[in-house]
Amino acid sequence: MKVIGKNNLAVQGTVFLLASIAMLGMSWFNYSNPKQDSTQFDLYRINTIKDCNKDMGKFGFISSAESKNGTVTYTKNELSEWNVDLAISSYIVRECRGMDLEYFCMGSNCQDNAGKPIYGTTMTLKFMEPLKTAK
């Protein structure tokens, strides 16, 4: 009777070992091949950029069209008080969740999206992947 119990435990242990190896393989397969729902991702990107454009418009920034690599350039052609404009710019960058600051220029040596020199503020924000937006 005791021999049957030991064999039974060995069989159960082997079954659990094989099941855990199979689950490990399935989890690696799912991790390696993520399912991307592109429509939800595109909708998230569009809403993120739209919300950011709304915030920028409140403070007088003009947005360019979104480029192919997911960047949007915002320009403001005036520079009234540099410290206020800098504070507004940093506030906007912080509030544009899902966007990462790629380029910032303030003053007389700045260029807009077309490369023309302007006197004011220019910043380029790039859309980040959703998993990178958690702060």
Phi, psi of 97 (to 5 degrees): -65, 135
The band of 134, judged by pLDDT with boundaries at 50, 70 and 90, is: very low
- Domain 38-132, what architecture? 2-Layer Sandwich (3.30)
The pLDDT of residue 92 is above 80: yes
Q: How far apart are CA 13 and CA 67, in angstroms?
A: 57
Q: Which of 58, 70, 75 is nearest to 99 (CA)?
A: 70
The structure's pTM equals 0.60
- Give the pLDDT of residue 40: 74
- Give the pLDDT of residue 96: 84
- Give the pLDDT of residue 27: 94
- Give the pLDDT of residue 135: 46
The pLDDT of residue 82 is above 80: yes
Tokens 């003009």 label which residue?
62
Residue 68's SS3 state is coil
